[in-house]
């Protein structure tokens, strides 16, 4: 068993599950979406992205691109949350929270693409 591949797969799956945990729930209910879970999803997603650097295959390039998309979406969600809560004093209105959750949904889709590619690549290696 290759420890590097285990760590790589771990962080890709953890990024997906943390993002899913934040995304799940009523899109306008702040009680269903924890700011610390969003922060954890960002940190793990950034770690997963860093692990994808250096891969020189076409699949590696697509994995990196999907990870960068997830990072941008999650960071944008955090920026919207921060601006609404602290800078603009709007607060987390249902429409602002819907925007935040929608951005995390885009990141979730990118993470699903990453995991799907990883699984397909793993299945292809055993043939």
Query: Looking at residues 22-48, what average pLDDT do you find?
Result: 93
Residue (of 110, 94, 106, 76) closest to 33 by Cα position? 94
Domain coordinates in residue numbering, the chain: 3-125
Report the b/e string of 19-28 with b at 16+ CB within 10 A.
Answer: bbbbbeeeee
Q: 16 versus 86: which is more confidently predicted?
A: 16
pLDDT digits (tens, 9 = 90+) for 47-89: 999 998 877 888 889 999 999 999 999 999 999 999 998 888 7
Percent of the chain with pLDDT over 90: 66
User: Per-residue pLDDT for 127 more than 60?
Assistant: no
Asked if 113 and 66 touch (Cβ cutoff 8 Å), the reply is yes
The token pair at 34 is 């924890």
Burial of 115 (0-12, 13-18, 19+ CB in 10 A): middle
User: Per-residue pLDDT for 8 more than 80?
Assistant: yes
Query: Looking at residues 36-45, what average pLDDT do you find?
Result: 96
- State residue 49's pLDDT score: 95
Look over the chain and give the mean of its residue pLDDT values, rounded to a whole number: 91
Measure the CA–CA gap between 39 and 50, rounded to whole angstroms: 17
Measure the CA–CA gap between 45 and 48, rounded to whole angstroms: 5
**End-to-end CA, the chain:** 17
- Contacts (Cβ under 8 Å, ≥6 apart) of 51: 7, 8, 11
pLDDT digits (tens, 9 = 90+) for 117-126: 989 988 887 6
């Amino acid at each position: 068993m290759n420890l590097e591949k285990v760590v790589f797969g771990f962080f890709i799956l953890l990024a997906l599950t943390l993002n899913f945990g934040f995304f799940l729930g009523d899109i306008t209910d702040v009680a269903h979406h924890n700011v610390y879970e969003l922060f954890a999803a960002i940190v793990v997603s950034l770690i997963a992205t860093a692990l994808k650097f250096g891969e020189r295959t076409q699949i590696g390039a697509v994995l990196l691109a999907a990870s960068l998309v997830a990072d941008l979406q999650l960071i944008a969600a955090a920026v919207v949350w921060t601006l609404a809560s602290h800078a603009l004093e709007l607060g987390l209105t249902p429409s602002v929270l819907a925007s935040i959750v929608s951005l995390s949904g885009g990141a979730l889709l990118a993470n699903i693409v990453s995991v799907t590619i990883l699984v397909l690549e793993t299945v292809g290696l055993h043939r």
